[in-house]
């Protein structure tokens, strides 16, 4: 098996591209895929500062590394979710990665800064753990990007993640979610721009990238995610991909080319109806945003602003 | 486990309906699901004669039985595809079913009437067998319905079939196919109306219906279909359904309610561009329809009409 680019012996093959690469050319391939995603979808404006949400896993650390190697001004953000040993370990990986390179890492701690952790919040709000966690991360990421003056927030969602989310959205024909599913969510009042520069790279490519680039990452999956629907969708797509390589990429990019536009109005209608949360100012269709409602339930305490207002 | 309807002991449970039924009430349930599909989608006009395409399998024989029991004027159509023993056996089941009930069964034989069988046609045209077969059946079904004055052609596609086809169509975002995927394809110049009255019933329900209604059907699957993509999509959906009962029904009916309309224009554009095949008169975007092209390749002979025209 020879490298497609330089004809030296290859170390990895990518079936959906019908190509194999040596170590150096594989890193070049990953850089090119990220560069192309950023260019094709106009993710970053010249000179813009990027905040990369990092979990200590292969995707987010790989993304941060690639963005820096491509010359972007990218800093990290780690959010402690209070998921026992798993959070302790993932935080260590993120901190060691940043420290070894001397790159700035912002930190927010859900228990320390907001008074609750994901397991407690999910139980108190009777939400699935992944739902309470996703909601909290989206809120904290957005708030941190805006508060610290970053023009754009980048997350490590890869092709496998996005294809699995898309499958879940079409299985239920969630038209609002379909309208919002895009590698770039533009900035709006109260929202930083969100971008997913890894959409052209699969899970296996990210793992290989980290190994070949000597990036030490947390290999364990979050213990609370075991058996969730999203992993079921990933497995289903993996089974289909095994038989027909390229299915996941065709599914996601076919949607972006020929499907997404048809649902965009549904998402815009939802965004147009948003006001500001009376506690934190985040965009919300109601009085309190979903994160503040979760926080009230999880802590059993009135929120600071609401407490001041009480007679 | 008690019957939801009459509280007698149940013989089958349907997880997605969270219900169990005794023998009689299960047959009633199947009738109601077909009645509802026909009503909801305006499949049949009062007094209309229905031609049911039967293969000798559980779905099509079950459909014919249910339509007759609901009082419809429904006759059968069996198309011999020349797939060795499998076709011989499936034809016997269809004929015995019809003869035992004294119901008219039309027959068309691909080798006898058109000079080729599915295995030969698929090889000659370098098409996957299921592709050559589907194309031939669609053509012959449509021609038989029109030639024999039936207002509507009914096929035994069930919920599992339709959900798997839908999954294939969204995985590739085949916008024209998505626009055409509907339980009713209206009549048009050269096209009989096509309806799928079993869309509300799953594969397992049809098998149970046939067993409980003493319908003898061919259990073997077509040997040429083994390992095809469609079966892969069915397996993927079955794995997801196992974990979340109701996923398939929500996927198909969610599409019909909130997705289909957005793709209808793509299918209409395709239909608007059709002329008549110069050999058989069937609608086609080209000079010869796909069936006649297949026939030319498979038989290696000029077609009758074209042969007459030649100098």
Residues of A near B (CB-CB distance < 8 A)?
170-173, 175, 229, 232-233, 235-237, 239-240, 243-244, 247, 250-251, 254-255, 257-259, 262-263
What lies within 8 Å, CB to CB, of B254 at 6+ separation is A171, A172, A173
> Residue A240: which of B232, B254, B255 has the nearest Cβ?
B232
Q: Which residues pair with A73 in a beta bridge?
A: A49
Residues of chain A contacting B247 with CB distance shorter than 8 Å:
171
In this model, does residue A212 exceed pLDDT 80?
yes
> What is the CATH classification number for the domain harbouring A183?
3.40.50.620
Q: The tokens 């034989």 sit on which residue?
A: B109
Opening angle at CA B280, ends B154 and B225, nearest 5: 50
3-state secondary structure (DSSP) of residue A126: coil
User: Which residue in the set A170, A235, A263 is minimally distant from B170, CB to CB?
Assistant: A170
Q: How many folded domains does chain A comprise? A: 1
pLDDT digits over A65-79, tens only?
999 999 999 999 999
Of B232, B243, B255, the CB nearest to A173: B255
Mean pLDDT for chain A overall: 94
> Two tokens at B53?
């395409």
Determine the residue of chain B that is closest to A264 in CA distance.
Answer: B262
pLDDT (tens digit per residue) in A25-43: 999 999 999 999 999 999 9
Residue in A closest to B167 by C-alpha = A171
Mean pLDDT of A252-262: 98
Residues B132, B118: Cα–Cα separation, whole Å: 7
Residue A82 lies in a domain: yes
- Sequence-distant (6+) residues with CB within 8 A of A296 are A288, A302, A303
Nearest Cα neighbor of A30 from A199, A154, A182 is A199
Residue that the structure tokens 């039936």 belong to: B150
Compare all CA atoms of chain A with the CA of B264 and give the residue at the minimum distance: A262
Q: What tens digit of pLDDT does each residue of A259-300 get?
A: 999 999 998 887 888 899 999 999 999 999 999 999 999 998
Q: What pLDDT is attached to residue B227?
A: 80
Cβ atoms of residues A118 and A129 within 8 Å: yes
Structural domain harbouring A48: 31-218+226-270
Mutation to test the B interface, candidates A165, A229, A236, A248, most B Cβ within 10 Å? A236
Q: Name, in order, each residue with C-beta under 8 angstroms of A45's C-beta and a sequence gap of 6 or more.
A: A151
Q: Which stretches of chain B score pLDDT less than 70?
A: 305-311
Query: CA-CA distance, B194 to B155, in Å (whole number)?
Result: 8
**CB–CB contact B175 A233 (8 Å):** no
Rounded distance, CA A103 to CA B136, Å?
A: 64
> Would you say the pTM of this structure is higher than 0.90?
yes
Question: How far away is chain A from the Cα of B249, in angstroms, using its nearest Cα?
Answer: 9
Name the token pair of A187: 């900035």
Please report the number of interchain residue pairs, chain A to chain B, with beta-carbon separation below 8 angstroms.
67
Determine the Cα–Cα distance for residues A162 and A139; give it in Å rounded to an integer: 19
In whole angstroms, how large is the CA radius of gyration of chain B? 20
In a domain, B48, yes or no: yes
Q: A239 vs B243: CB contact, 8 Å cut-off?
A: no
Contact assignment for A171 to B257 by CB distance below 8 Å: no
**Beta-carbon-side half-sphere exposure of residue B311 (alpha carbons within 13 Å):** 0
Instruction: Give the model's pLDDT for residue B273.
Output: 83
pLDDT of the residue at A272:
81
Q: How many CB atoms lie within 10 A of CB B14?
A: 19
Of A166, A234, A230, A227, the C-alpha closest to A196 is: A166
Does B239 sit within 8 Å of A171, measured CB to CB?
Answer: no
* Digit-coded pLDDT (tens) for A132-158: 999 999 999 999 999 999 989 999 999
**Contact between chains at A173 and B239 (C-beta distance less than 8 A):** no
Chain B closest-CA separation from residue A184 CA (Å) = 20
Provide ipTM, 2 decimals.
0.91
Bridge-based pairing of strands B275-276 and B283-284 is antiparallel
**DSSP strand pairing (A19-21 vs A12-14):** antiparallel
Of B172, B236, B244, the CB nearest to A250: B172
Q: B276: which residues sit within 8 A by CB, 6+ positions away?
A: B190, B282, B283, B284
CA B64 to chain centre: 12
| SS3 of chain B | CECCCCCCECCEEEHHHCEEECHHHHHHHHHHHHHHHHHHCCCCCCCCEEEEECCCCHHHHHHHHHHHHCCCEEEEEEEECCCHHHHHHHHHHHHHHHHHHCCCEEEEEHHHHHCCCHHHHHHHCCCCHHHHHHHHHHHHHHHHHHHCCCCEEECCCCHHHHHHHHHHHHHCCCHHHHHHCCCEECCECCECEEECCCCCCCHHHHHHHHHHCCCCCCCCCCHHHCCCHHHHHHHHHHHHHHHCCCHHHHHHHHHHHHHHHHHHHHHHHHHHCCEECCCCCCEECCCCCHHHHHHHHHHCCCCHHHHHHCC
**Which band of pLDDT confidence, cut at 50, 70 and 90, is reported for residue A257?**
very high
Q: What pLDDT sits at residue B162?
A: 98
In a domain, B42, yes or no: yes
**Degrees to nearest 5, angle at CA A134 with B254 and A114:** 145
pLDDT at residue B305, as a whole number: 61
Is the per-residue pLDDT at A309 higher than 90?
Answer: no
pLDDT at A311 over 50: no
Residue B302 lies in a domain: no
Residue A43, in any domain of the structure: yes
Query: Does B171 contact A239 at a Cβ distance shorter than 8 Å?
Result: no
Confidence of residue A88 (pLDDT cuts 50, 70, 90): very high
Residue A247 lies in a domain: yes
């Amino acid at each position: 098996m020879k490298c497609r680019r330089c004809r030296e012996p290859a170390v990895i093959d990518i079936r959906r591209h019908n190509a194999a690469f040596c170590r150096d050319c594989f890193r070049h391939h990953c850089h090119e895929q990220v560069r192309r995603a950023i260019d094709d979808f106009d993710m970053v404006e010249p000179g813009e500062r990027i905040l990369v949400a990092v979990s200590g896993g292969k995707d987010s650390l790989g993304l941060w590394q690639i963005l820096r190697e491509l010359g972007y001004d990218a800093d990290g953000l780690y959010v402690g979710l209070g998921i026992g040993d798993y959070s302790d370990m993932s935080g260590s990986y993120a901190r060691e990665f940043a420290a070894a390179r001397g790159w700035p890492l912002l930190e927010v701690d859900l228990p320390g800064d907001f008074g609750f952790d994901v397991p407690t919040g999910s139980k108190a709000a009777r939400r699935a753990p992944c739902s309470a966690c996703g909601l909290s991360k989206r809120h904290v990421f957005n708030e941190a990007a805006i508060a610290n003056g970053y023009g754009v927030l980048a997350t490590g969602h890869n092709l496998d993640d996005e294809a699995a989310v898309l499958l879940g959205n079409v299985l239920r024909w969630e038209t609002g979610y379909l309208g919002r599913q895009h590698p770039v969510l533009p900035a709006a009042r109260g929202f930083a721009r969100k971008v997913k520069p890894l959409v052209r790279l699969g899970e296996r490519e990210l793992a290989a990238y980290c190994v070949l680039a000597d990036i030490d990452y947390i290999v364990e999956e979050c213990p609370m995610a075991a058996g969730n629907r999203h992993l079921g969708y990933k497995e289903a797509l993996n089974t289909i991909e095994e038989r027909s390589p390229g299915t996941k990429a065709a599914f996601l990019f076919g949607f972006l080319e020929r499907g997404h536009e048809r649902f965009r109005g549904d998402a815009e209608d939802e965004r147009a109806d948003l006001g500001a949360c009376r506690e934190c100012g985040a965009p919300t269709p109601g009085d309190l945003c979903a994160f503040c409602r979760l926080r009230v339930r999880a802590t059993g305490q009135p929120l600071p602003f609401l407490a001041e207002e009480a007679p």
